[in-house]
Amino acid sequence: AIDFNLTNLADVFDIPGLSDILRQAVLDQLSALMVLPNKIYVSLVENVPLRLLKFVPPTGVLRIKVIAGKELKKADVGMFGLGSSDPYAVVKVGSQEFRTSVVENSINPQWNYYCEAVVDQVEGQSVLVDIMDKDPSSKDDFLGRMSLNISTLLAEGKSCAWHHLQDTKTGKINLDITWVALSDDPEHLPAEMMYIKSLSSKTPLSSSLLLVFVDSAKHLPNASQAASEPSPLVELTVGANKVCTSVKPNTNDPVWEENFHFLMANPENEEVVIEVKDGKSEKSLGHCVIPTNFLLKEKGLQLDQPFFLKDSGSESQIILMLQLKIFKSQTTAAEKPKAEVSEEKDDSVQEEEKEKEVSKTNDVVAPSLEDVVLSTVSPVLDSAKVSKEVLDESLRHRGSSSKMSTEEEKDLPKIQLTLRYSMQRNKLIVVVHKVVNLPYKDEEELPDPYVKVYLIADSKETKQKTHVCQNTANPVFDET
């Protein structure tokens, strides 16, 4: 894994002679790492745990069946000049990529291929399908592409249709796409398992999604008696899937705060194997196993607690948050608005929550980190062809309980911003949309808020202000 901090990254991009090739290489690496959601959290109030806010479940899952192609372009020259193609399809959703098998020598291929893509955020995201002709001894030929907006799919719940391919003269593709909602109700599990079995006997499909938030570990042992502090990382294994956190250098109490998810066929008999390792010596620092059926018995299908590590120090713990989401593929018409509500909720979470008041009750904290993050992350987003990104962060009041209900969360002050970095113009564009739920003392004395944006780079500081909105706790600015 690449491990460099964002401040250094900013410096790298500032080097004027940095070749485009190197820049592109860095961007490619980063876009691979910057798996959606590209959410960044900056604590505006000190000593407030952001843990719960950083644990953001995906919005849903798309179950995609690439059924068939028709009248595809002939990209191979045949012996008698007729020609054909050896088509396969590449499906992309965010950073996830899936590939069908190759159907040889056919312009009307039948794939009947299933894949499942986790959708973190609906806004601005598409399902992209490229059709290619496999050529054993040269670069594969492009046969056409198509894209579908995920928000449209979500509204319809299901789409089964022939789509004309773009950027080509001929060809259609038949896709069956289902929006799968995520539920906290274990009662949905048997029905979903029956349903996926009925869909395909060949492809093992998923009935649920396991979310794992690796928060931190405490009192980890050193790798050996002679060794100094370890540089720990966590390896998570579910079935054949293995993922790793980043390495935290030289600490017995690492904080990772990283999100992972695993598609599961049957959570009744699967387990998460957690192994903490020293990145330097590769030695194990402790491990534990959590069977996922534990989660089925918990309220909200959720566990948020420290787990003692085996073969580790006597006090060694790992702090994890695990949640199981049960798939609900068959959404009835009556239930549809529910799915839309949950999407709305997600949007509101995605609004950046921040406030800068005229009064000095809450001092502005850490704009530098935020801006460094912005100016470095945004070019990455550009390269990943994400035109609009919303930076997330949340403001929490001191003394509030560690768990907030959704109701309470709705009333938190929030700011909505759009951030874009234009490589051509070498400019960071910040659109201040609006702020909601600013605190105020009484109805008579509403605040007159404005937003000040700081950019701190290379110890130079620039700032810009919006206009002042008189007498409101919910100002709308829409300023760039």
Between 109 and 286, CB nearer to Ca ion: 109
Q: Nearest to residue 399, comparing CAs of 49, 55, 56? A: 49
* Least CB distance to Ca ion at residue 144 (A): 14
* Least CB distance to Ca ion at residue 87 (A): 8
Tell me the β-bridge partners of 427: 422
Between 76 and 347, CB nearer to Ca ion: 76
Q: Can you give the three-state secondary structure of the chain, one letter per residue?
A: CCCCCHHHHHHHHHCCCCCHHHHHHHHHHHHHHCCCCCCCCCCCCCCCCCHHHHCCCCCEEEEEEEEEEECCCCCECCCCCCCECCEEEEEEECCEEEECCCCCCCCCCEEEEEEEEEECCCCCCEEEEEEEECCCCCCCEEEEEEEEEHHHHHHHCEEEEEEECECCCCCEEEEEEEEEEEECCCCHHHHHHHHHHHHCCCCCCCCEEEEEEEEEEECCCCCCCCCCCCCEEEEEEECCEEEECCCCCCCCCCEEEEEEEEEECCHHHCEEEEEEEECCCCCEEEEEEEECHHHHHCHHHEEEEEEECECCCCCCEEEEEEEEEEEECCCCHHHHHHHHHHHHHHHHHHCCCCCCCCCCCCCCCCHHHHHHHHHHHHHHHHHCCCCCECCCCCCCCCCCCCCCCHHHHHCCCEEEEEEEEECCCCEEEEEEEEEECCCCCCCCCCCCCCCEEEEEECCEEEEEECCCCCCCCCCEEEEC
* Least CB distance to Ca ion at residue 175 (A): 22
* Least CB distance to Ca ion at residue 141 (A): 4
* Least CB distance to Ca ion at residue 146 (A): 20
Between 23 and 134, CB nearer to Ca ion: 134
* Least CB distance to Ca ion at residue 74 (A): 9
* Least CB distance to Ca ion at residue 89 (A): 14
Between 86 and 353, CB nearer to Ca ion: 86
Between 74 and 410, CB nearer to Ca ion: 74
Q: Which helix (H) or strand (E) is 17 found in, with range?
A: none
List of residues contacting Ca ion (CB under 5 A) = 75-76, 86, 133, 135, 141
* Least CB distance to Ca ion at residue 24 (A): 27
Listing DSSP states for 118-170 in one string gives: EES--TT-EEEEEEEE--TTSPPEEEEEEEEEHHHHHHHSEEEEEEEPBSSSS
Between 135 and 253, CB nearer to Ca ion: 135
Report d(CA 219, CA 319) in Å as an integer: 11
Between 141 and 409, CB nearer to Ca ion: 141
Between 133 and 215, CB nearer to Ca ion: 133
* Least CB distance to Ca ion at residue 79 (A): 13
Between 86 and 229, CB nearer to Ca ion: 86
* Least CB distance to Ca ion at residue 72 (A): 11
Between 73 and 248, CB nearer to Ca ion: 73
Between 141 and 257, CB nearer to Ca ion: 141
Question: Residue 114 corresponds to which amino acid?
Answer: Y
- Tokens read off for 407: 């109701």
* Least CB distance to Ca ion at residue 430 (A): 47
